[in-house]
Structure 1
Amino acid sequence: AQLVELQEYAAKEKLEIVASLCEAKTAKEPGRIKFAEMLSLIEKGKADGIISWHPDRLARNSVDGGKIIHFVDRGLIKSLKFPTFWFEPTPQGLFMLNIAFGQSKYFVDNLRENVKRGLRQKIRNGVWPGWAPVGYLNNPKTRGIDVDSEKAPKVKKMFEMYATGAYTLHSLANWCRKYDLRGNLGKEIALSNVQSILQNIFYIGLMKYGGEIHEGQHEPLISKKLFDSCQEVMAKRGKVHELHKNNFSYLGLLKCASCGCSITAEKQKGHNYYRCTKKKGLCQEKHYLREEALTEQITSYLQKVSLSSQDTEKILAALDSEQDKAREDAQGEVIILKEQLMSVEARLAKLLDVYLADALSTEEYAAKKQGLLSQKMSLNEKITDFDTKGLSWLEPAREFVKSLNQAAIYEVDYFTAVHRIASQSVGVPYVVPSRGFEPLPLAGRGPKPRASANSATRAFLLPREHEAGRGIEPLYMGFADPCLATWLPGRPSNYFLCFPVIFQGGPVLSALCLKRILYAVFCGV
């Protein structure tokens, strides 16, 4: 449009056009190619004037504006023609041209500040001012950020997969290509983009802008707990870890009774064998134990802790009676969490006042604010969990008690029952081991493993004597002997061989609560 207007203006003024140059780059930065070509034509004497729509089309920066005025001073430019501006090569004309160039630069600088101010205000309002990341969409009507119903579930699945530790960035990039997860511009998600997605706090409802963390109004795709798990996995990726190709069901559950070391496993000729790691040196235990024999030993313990149908009904009734009390406890926890949330919000307000009073540097303010925002988000998630999942632990508790019912156990073979309860209690994979074969000898590995639960192999399940008295005392189950002589410290040993007290998907079922229920049922107290 400007070119057509200038051609008509040149014809009206009877001016000869030597060359028509159209510059696509902005005039606010020096270094334009077409602008340099124009000055070169003038310096060579092929032209002695410039026609432009307005002085701000020639220059909106001090460097290019200075070159134009310098060429006028040298007499290389004898005429400047503008349809919307007047100029003469006189001191008054140069003064007006300087003002025009200065005004153009002021407009650019002022516009930049106005835009930055608007962006900062959008951030304060919790609205992301730029392009939405993968899984979100920019809403042109509300000028906000909406969840992309098509891509958001896939992005969430990426976080869940990576948090397991079984996937690398490369495998996730291949997964994105397989399920056609692309960026908002339609490009494939590269390896670096996968890492950026997994590190972006935007997906938990926060925004990082100008080195500072802000709360966003957009809907979070994942929880902070899941995000933190991904960061822990990513932090460990730099360390070299041994890859375990085999998935052994009982690793991490057992200790050697002779020396107290952990029990390891290895696969030989298609069968899994367990043995002492001997980390403390020589061990009296020389035998290997095949997984089927170990399963038989655990089965014998399961027979002791299995419940009759009558006892199962009593425990389920006791759980029902605990429901009202648990609801009251959950409400009390919510009140405490809300008080803590109000305290964090008050600290955030005070932190801003301290920063405005110049008592903190920008870096200190950003670091402290990030910590408080992280606490605030964690408290909000806990409150939401109590509101939505306050009693969600009851169903897993009921299912676990039902799984210990003798009738339910006898409906399947012991191998299946052992692995099923192990899977529910400590999260090991639910695998049904193969059966119907004889144990094979291992060359150079000591005596031939036997499937019978002899005294040597039975030692794998006995607790260490020097750990007696640590942790919670064992529950007396009403049998001839307690189900365990001692409770082992650490995670799963106690849970597997007796009763688990932690259920996934909800709050912790306290050991004291479960102990009270079981003690009342079996001991009649």
Structure 2
Amino acid sequence: MRIADLYIRVSTDEQADKGYSKRNQEEVLRRYCDMNYIQVRKVVYEDHSAKTFNRPAWSKLLADLRKSKGKSDLIIFTKWDRFSRNAGDAYQMINQLRSLGVEPQAIEQPLDMSIPENKIMLALYLATPEVENDRRALNVFHGMRRAKKEGRWMGTAPIGYKNRTMENGDKYIGPKEPEAGIMKWVFQTIADGIYNTEQIWKTARLKGLKCSKNNF
């Protein structure tokens, strides 16, 4: 009978209702092991992103496999994106595991790695999540850039303003009194060039502005 470690990963930025919940993954993996006469040695839970293998639970599992070489034949997970979202790192890790006599396998995307052509499918399974991550990041970048070009302020409103929302849901920043009036006086006084910045800051505080010297 083969022996397996179950690897269950849900990162903090993933939703449980997508079928990635720890309970759901464990149920599916245990059912698979029962049906295929595989003995479960341990269950490993992870809550970190799969962008790299610098994950606490994975590091402990890898150290245990090195220490207990030969006691486990498989590392089983549901899909390859539970294992990794970086194709380059994944190939290196697969080679490390094989040197320990351990075969990683995704039960919902099974691959017989003795068949050379299946390496193409493995590359697809590993690269697809990475491409999705890169595309998502690019969309966010372009979205923020477009918003700035349209004159929208991104992030927390600066001193003298307040984040507001229109009736249609669009967000904008609007003046916040009395800070707005004080900040108008500040900029005008700086433009006059009579007093230095620290003197103006101290006077602004006396007027009621709550702001540290560094932030000012």
Q: TM-score range by the shorter chain?
A: 0.5 to 0.7
| Residue in structure 1 matched with residue 29 of structure 2 by the alignment | 10
**Residue number among 167, 170, 180 corresponding to 1:143 in the alignment:** 170
Q: Matched residues in 2 for 1:32 and 1:169: separation?
A: 47
Q: Matched residues in 1 for 2:128 and 2:30: separation?
A: 29
Q: Matched residues in 1 for 2:25 and 2:132: separation?
A: 24
Q: Matched residues in 2 for 1:58 and 1:163: separation?
A: 58
Look up the equivalent residue of 1:191 and give its one-letter code. K
| Residue in structure 1 matched with residue 159 of structure 2 by the alignment | 134
| 1:38 paired to 2:67 | no
Q: Matched residues in 1 for 2:102 and 2:203: separation?
A: 61
| Residue in structure 2 matched with residue 155 of structure 1 by the alignment | 183
| Residue in structure 2 matched with residue 192 of structure 1 by the alignment | 214
Scaled by the length of structure 1, the TM-score of the pair is 0.30
Q: Matched residues in 2 for 1:49 and 1:125: separation?
A: 53
**Residue number among 75, 78, 81 corresponding to 1:50 in the alignment:** 75
Between the aligned residues of both structures, percent identity stands at: 22
| 1:112 paired to 2:137 | yes
Q: Matched residues in 2 for 1:89 and 1:170: separation?
A: 72
| Residue in structure 2 matched with residue 356 of structure 1 by the alignment | none
Scaled by the length of structure 2, the TM-score of the pair is 0.65
**Residue number among 195, 198, 206 corresponding to 1:169 in the alignment:** 198
Per-residue CA deviation, residues 66-117 of structure 1 (Å, 9 max, x unaligned), is 23332354353324244x4333443354432222111121112222222222
The structure whose Rg is larger is: 1
| Residue in structure 1 matched with residue 50 of structure 2 by the alignment | 27
| 1:86 paired to 2:110 | yes
Q: Matched residues in 2 for 1:149 and 1:32: separation?
A: 44
3-state secondary structure, aligned to 1:126: coil
Q: Matched residues in 2 for 1:177 and 1:95: separation?
A: 69
Identify, as 1 or 2, the structure richer in strand: 2
- Kept in 1: contact 2:65–2:100 (CA 8 A): no
Look up the equivalent residue of 2:174 and give its one-letter code. V
Deviation at 1:18, TM superposition (A): 1.8
Deviation at 1:22, TM superposition (A): 1.8
Asked which structure has the greater RCO (Cα within 8 Å, sep 6+), the reply is: 2
Q: Matched residues in 2 for 1:99 and 1:35: separation?
A: 23
- Kept in 1: contact 2:85–2:129 (CA 8 A): yes
* Change beyond 3 A, Cα 1:122–1:41: same
Per-residue CA deviation, residues 102-145 of structure 1 (Å, 9 max, x unaligned), is 11211122222222222232233222344433333444554332
Poorly superposed stretches of 4+, deviation over 6 Å: none
Q: Matched residues in 2 for 1:67 and 1:140: separation?
A: 48
- Kept in 1: contact 2:153–2:173 (CA 8 A): no
- Kept in 2: contact 1:87–1:97 (CA 8 A): yes
CA RMSD of aligned residues (A): 3.4
**Residue number among 121, 125, 128 corresponding to 1:100 in the alignment:** 125
Per-residue CA deviation, residues 10-63 of structure 1 (Å, 9 max, x unaligned), is 332335252423233x33356444443333333333644334343223222244
3-state secondary structure, aligned to 2:42: coil
Q: Matched residues in 1 for 2:139 and 2:133: separation?
A: 10
Structure 1 unaligned runs (5+)?
182-188, 195-525
Q: Matched residues in 1 for 2:106 and 2:202: separation?
A: 57
Deviation at 1:167, TM superposition (A): 4.9
Q: Matched residues in 1 for 2:125 and 2:42: separation?
A: 25
- Kept in 2: contact 1:27–1:61 (CA 8 A): yes
- Kept in 1: contact 2:161–2:175 (CA 8 A): yes
